[in-house]
Chain A
Amino acid sequence: MHELSLAEAILPSVLAIAEEHRARVMSLTIQAGALQMIVAESLAMGFLAVAEGTAAEGARLIVEPVAVTARCRRCELVFGVEDSIFLCPDCHVADAETVTGNELVLLRVELEPCESMSSTTS
């Protein structure tokens, strides 16, 4: 469900790029931080569903995962977060801001120019 609504949020930007280049979308890459708890397969399936009948029909959605890192507010140390443990290895306190892991970004789109698209873009 969640993935479907995210797919809906992604589609307009992808279609705008396709239209600008008068092209079809072959694939798109989404950068997803681990904290987003995105199921890559569901997002790809959701995108197939919402893109049906558009210039992105059949496009392959690739999820590029991003690991979680945080910066300690007390000592500024940036550290990797595993198993949801945000404790600073030096201060032993979880007073840290998330540096990476919250991303949800459309990173790139792979296009294939298509002459016929110019007249049939929906």
Chain B
Amino acid sequence: MRVDVVHNVLKLNDALAQQIRADLRGRGIFCPNLISSPGSGKTTLLERTLEHFRGTWGQAVIVGDLATSRDAERLAEYAQTVQINTDGGCHLDAAMVANAMPHLDLDGVDVLYIENVGNLVCPVGYDLGHDAKVALISVTEGEDKVAKYPRLWREADVVLLTKADLLQYVPFDVARFYEDLRALNGTVPVLEVSSMTGQGMDAWFEWLTARRESPNAQEPAA
């Protein structure tokens, strides 16, 4: 016997993510979801960002990692942070975020950053209830990561080319990077940044500020 269903595999995740989004928006909290390969500079960018907006915004962080709480320890220096240990899982899902949220005091929080597990594939498919996907690619990992892992760059609300201070030392083909990226997504803003030298960080802070003020401007792709 054959039963036709047409049932979205991630339906449960997506429904929970919508609840999280409604909850966060109800509290006026803006939520960016940072996605990149391992080591592209998510935690370092967050450290500089938390530092920059300290005193301006109430900030909190949910950080996912396969193992260890090292990123959470780094970030807890700047803002309240919960660590989600995925025990080998390659991405965060909405249930993990929902379970983490009660561990944060969200009163007075304006921005809740989510640092996803370092991975260019799996995190892209899981809606976490975020307002924006922030995609990072570092100059040290090679420009071919754009063409090889297309979906992230398709769905990103902003692309950060990180570790720009190292461009002079590594054979990263910037022209090729833009060419490949623009063939996937002709409209996404791209910011070249360095958490080390501060290059381009003002543009990133401005993007965050502007986007926080109008999170509904663009519905995020799940």
Contacts and interface: CB of A to CB of B under 8 A. Distances in A.
Binding site secondary structure of chain B: mixed
30 contacts: A1-B90, A1-B122, A2-B90, A2-B122, A9-B12, A13-B5, A13-B7, A21-B1, A21-B3, A30-B9, A35-B151, A35-B154, A36-B125, A37-B149, A37-B151, A84-B180, A85-B184, A86-B184, A86-B185, A94-B186, A104-B8, A105-B9, A106-B7, A106-B9, A108-B5, A110-B1, A110-B3, A111-B3, A112-B1, A113-B1
Interface in A86-111: 86-87, 93-95, 98, 102, 104-111
Interface of B: 1-10, 12-13, 88-91, 93, 121-122, 125, 147, 149-151, 154, 180, 182-187
A82 to B, nearest CB: 11
B150 A84 contact: yes
Contacts of A13: 5, 7, 9
A94 B9 contact: no
B6 A94 contact: no
Contacts of A105: 6-9
